[in-house]
Structure 1
Amino acid sequence: MNAPDSPLRGPVLIVGGGLVGASLAIALDAAGVDATLVEAAPPRADAQPSYDERNLALARATVNGLDAIGVWAHAREGATAIGHIHVSRAGEFGSVRLDARDAGLDALGWTLPARELGAALLRRLEACTRLERLAPARLETLEPIPGGWRAQVRTAEGVRGLDTPLLVGADGTDSFVRERLGIAAETHDYGQTLFVCTVTPEREHEHRAYERFSDEGPVAMLPLAGRRCGLVLTVPAAQAAATTGLDDAGYLALAQRRFGWRLGRLTRPGRRFPYAIRRVAAARLTTPRAVLVGNAAQTVHPIGAQGFNLGLRDALTLAELAAGAADPGDERLLAAYAARRAPDREGTMAMSHGLVQLACLPQPWLAPLRSMALLACDRVPPLKHALLRRGMGFRGTPPQAVLERTP
Structure 2
Amino acid sequence: MNHVVARKEHDVVIVGGGLVGASLAIALDRIGLDVGMVEAAPAGALPAVFDERNLSFADATVNALEALGVMSKLSAPTGAITRIHVSRRGDFGRACLVAADYGREAFGRVVVARDFGEALESRLQELQRLTRYRPARFVGLAGGDDSTRVVRIADAGGERGLRARLLVAADGTGSAVRDALGIQAERHDYLQSLFVARLRAARAPDGTAYERLGDHGPTALLPRGDRHFGLVHGVARDEAATVQALDDTAFLDRIQRAFGWRVGRLESIGARSIYPAIRTVARSTIAPRAALVGNAAQTLHPIGAQGFNLGLRDALTLAELIETRGGAGADPGDPGLLAEHVQRREDDRARTLAMSDGLARLTANDAPLLRPLRSLGLFALDRMPSAQAWLVGGAMGYRGQVPALCRKAS
User: Which residues in structure 2 correspond to 1:328-407 (within 5 Å)?
Assistant: 328-405=332-409
Q: CA deviation at 1:144?
A: 3.2
| Paired AA for residue 141 in structure 1 | G
Residues 199-242 of structure 1: per-residue CA shift (max 9 Å, x gap): 11111221111001111221100011232111110000000000
Give the 4+ runs in structure 1 shifted more than 6 A: none
Q: CA deviation at 1:161?
A: 1.6
Structure 2 Cα separation of the partners of residues 174 and 226 of structure 1: 33
2:4 aligns with: none
Structure 2 Cα separation of the partners of residues 405 and 10 of structure 1: 31
**Contact (CA 8 Å) 1:377, 1:387: kept in 2 or not?**
no
**Contact (CA 8 Å) 1:205, 1:227: kept in 2 or not?**
yes
Question: In structure 1, the residue corresponding to 2:230 is in which secondary structure?
Answer: strand
Residues 20-74 of structure 1: per-residue CA shift (max 9 Å, x gap): 1000001101122211000011133x54111111111111111011111111111
**Contact (CA 8 Å) 1:169, 1:296: kept in 2 or not?**
yes
User: Which residues in structure 2 correspond to 1:7-406 (within 5 Å)?
Assistant: 10-44=10-44, 46-75=45-74, 77-146=76-145, 147-323=147-323, 324-325=326-327, 326-405=330-409
Structure 1 Cα separation of the partners of residues 278 and 65 of structure 2: 27
Mind listing any 5+ residue stretches in structure 1 that lack a counterpart? 1-7
Residues 347-392 of structure 1: per-residue CA shift (max 9 Å, x gap): 1111000001111100111111111111222211111111111110
| Paired AA for residue 77 in structure 2 | G
Question: In structure 2, the residue corresponding to 1:73 is in which secondary structure?
Answer: helix
Q: CA deviation at 1:77?
A: 4.5
Question: In structure 1, the residue corresponding to 2:217 is in which secondary structure?
Answer: coil
1:4 aligns with: none
| Paired AA for residue 309 in structure 2 | N
Structure 2 Cα separation of the partners of residues 257 and 9 of structure 1: 57
| Paired AA for residue 261 in structure 2 | W
| Paired AA for residue 386 in structure 2 | P
Residues 170-220 of structure 1: per-residue CA shift (max 9 Å, x gap): 000000000000000000011000000111111122111100111122110
1:5 aligns with: none
Structure 2 Cα separation of the partners of residues 65 and 202 of structure 1: 34
How many residues are treated as equivalent by the alignment? Answer: 398
Structure 2 Cα separation of the partners of residues 308 and 55 of structure 1: 11
Structure 1 Cα separation of the partners of residues 304 and 292 of structure 2: 22
Structure 2 Cα separation of the partners of residues 78 and 336 of structure 1: 38
Question: In structure 1, the residue corresponding to 2:74 is in which secondary structure?
Answer: helix
Question: In structure 1, the residue corresponding to 2:10 is in which secondary structure?
Answer: coil
| Paired AA for residue 292 in structure 1 | L
| Paired AA for residue 102 in structure 2 | A
Q: CA deviation at 1:393?
A: 0.6
Residues 304/43 of structure 1: CA separation in 2 closer, same or farther (3 Å cut):
farther
Q: CA deviation at 1:9?
A: 6.8
Please identify, of 367-376 and 248-257, the stretch whose mean Cα deviation from structure 2 is larger.
367-376
**Contact (CA 8 Å) 2:10, 2:36: kept in 1 or not?**
no
Residues 91-111 of structure 1: per-residue CA shift (max 9 Å, x gap): 211111111111111111000
Q: CA deviation at 1:156?
A: 2.3
Residues 237/247 of structure 1: CA separation in 2 closer, same or farther (3 Å cut):
same
Structure 1 Cα separation of the partners of residues 94 and 284 of structure 2: 36
Q: CA deviation at 1:405?
A: 4.1
**Contact (CA 8 Å) 1:294, 1:308: kept in 2 or not?**
yes
Structure 2 Cα separation of the partners of residues 9 and 53 of structure 1: 36
**Contact (CA 8 Å) 2:25, 2:35: kept in 1 or not?**
yes
Structure 1 Cα separation of the partners of residues 104 and 21 of structure 2: 30
RMSD: 1.4
Q: CA deviation at 1:155?
A: 2.0
Mind listing any 5+ residue stretches in structure 2 that lack a counterpart? 1-7
Report the TM-score, using the length of structure 2 for normalisation: 0.95
Residues 76/364 of structure 1: CA separation in 2 closer, same or farther (3 Å cut):
farther
Structure 1 Cα separation of the partners of residues 92 and 185 of structure 2: 38
Structure 1 Cα separation of the partners of residues 233 and 203 of structure 2: 19
Please identify, of 143-152 and 187-196, the stretch whose mean Cα deviation from structure 2 is larger.
143-152
Q: CA deviation at 1:151?
A: 1.4
Question: In structure 2, the residue corresponding to 1:379 is in which secondary structure?
Answer: coil
Report the TM-score, using the length of structure 1 for normalisation: 0.95
Structure 1 Cα separation of the partners of residues 347 and 390 of structure 2: 14
Structure 1 Cα separation of the partners of residues 408 and 386 of structure 2: 20
Structure 2 Cα separation of the partners of residues 390 and 270 of structure 1: 31
